[in-house]
Structure 1
Amino acid sequence: MDILFLLIPFSVVLVLIILAGLWWAVDRGQFDDVEGEGERILRND
């Protein structure tokens, strides 16, 4: 039962880190053109 006092705050911190990483990726434009890179390799430059 005592382990819950450690695991619950740890899981909340982990979720906040994951959400911050997702927000950072969206803010930097990582998901703006999802299909563009897949099509770029098919085009002959």
Structure 2
Amino acid sequence: MNSLVFLIPIALLLGGAALAAFLWSLRSGQYDDLDGAAERILLDDEDDPKKTPERDQPNKPAP
């Protein structure tokens, strides 16, 4: 019984911290664009020269 005196407040504090973190993530816009990340994998990045390092280096002959 004496352990419940410590465990119940600790459980309430952890639950409150989890709720506060969830509410903070809602307010900061964490869940605004749920479909964007799922559709981003379908986009073709071959046209972006920043993402292809082969285009930045000149052709080097093999040694």
TM-score of the superposed pair, with normalisation by structure 1: 0.91
Larger Rg: 2
Taking CA–CA contacts closer than 8 Å with sequence separation of 6 or more, which of the two structures ends up with the larger relative contact order? Answer: 1
Mind listing any 5+ residue stretches in structure 2 that lack a counterpart? 46-63
DSSP-derived class of the 2:29 partner: coil
TM-score of the superposed pair, with normalisation by structure 2: 0.67
Deviations 1:6-42 (A, max 9, x none): 0000000001000010011100000011111110121
Output the aligned Cα RMSD: 0.8
Mind listing any 5+ residue stretches in structure 1 that lack a counterpart? none
Q: In structure 2, what is the Cα distance between the partners aligned to 1:41 and 1:25?
A: 24
For the pair 1:25 / 2:25, whether they are aligned, the reply is yes
The percentage of aligned residue pairs carrying the same residue is 42
